[in-house]
Amino acid sequence: MRRFQESHSRIGLAVGVSLVFSVLVDISLRKGIADPEGSTIERSLPTLGFLGVRDVGVGKTIRFTIEAGDEEEAKNKVESICSTFLTNPVIEKAKITIENTDQVEGN
């Protein structure tokens, strides 16, 4: 059992009692990076009668829950997930929102 717990600790899974956090990651392109989808939408809106719309940017939003001992640990885990998997840090930036769901999980 100890070997099982150690292997889960190494990969970032909570062992014992942990809190559950709701996570929202809003990913957008960094300033200066071309946004062809945003440009296409912005050019199309006036032909549909929507005038005065500008600075259109297209991004993605990812929602999930994560277990952690506290909010700081959750934030560190999410930042690591973002920089290694969810975003391309060279061209994208992530805005992370974390909320405690008041749930407690026990392993």
Q: Is the pLDDT of residue 9 over 60?
A: no
Does the reported pTM lie above 0.85?
no
Domain residue ranges of the chain, discontinuous segments joined by +? 2-106
pLDDT band at 107 (very low <50, low <70, confident <90, very high): low
Q: Which CATH superfamily is domain 2-106 in?
A: Phosphoribosylformylglycinamidine synthase subunit PurS (3.30.1280.10)
Q: What pLDDT does 83 receive?
A: 95
The overall average pLDDT reported for the chain is 87
Q: Is the pLDDT of residue 106 over 80?
A: no
Q: What pLDDT does 103 receive?
A: 76
91 φ/ψ sector (left φ>0, alpha ψ -120 to 50, else beta) = alpha
Q: Is the pLDDT of residue 102 over 70?
A: yes
Nearest-10 Cα torsion for 25, 31, 33, 37 = 60
- Cα(63)–Cα(36) distance, integer angstroms: 25
Instruction: Write the DSSP string, the chain.
Output: -HHHHHHHHHTT---SEEEEEEEEEEEEEPTTS--HHHHHHHHHGGGGT--S-------EEEEEEEEESSHHHHHHHHHHHIIIII--TTTEEEEEEEEEEEEEEE-
pLDDT digits (tens, 9 = 90+) for 64-79: 999 999 999 999 999 9
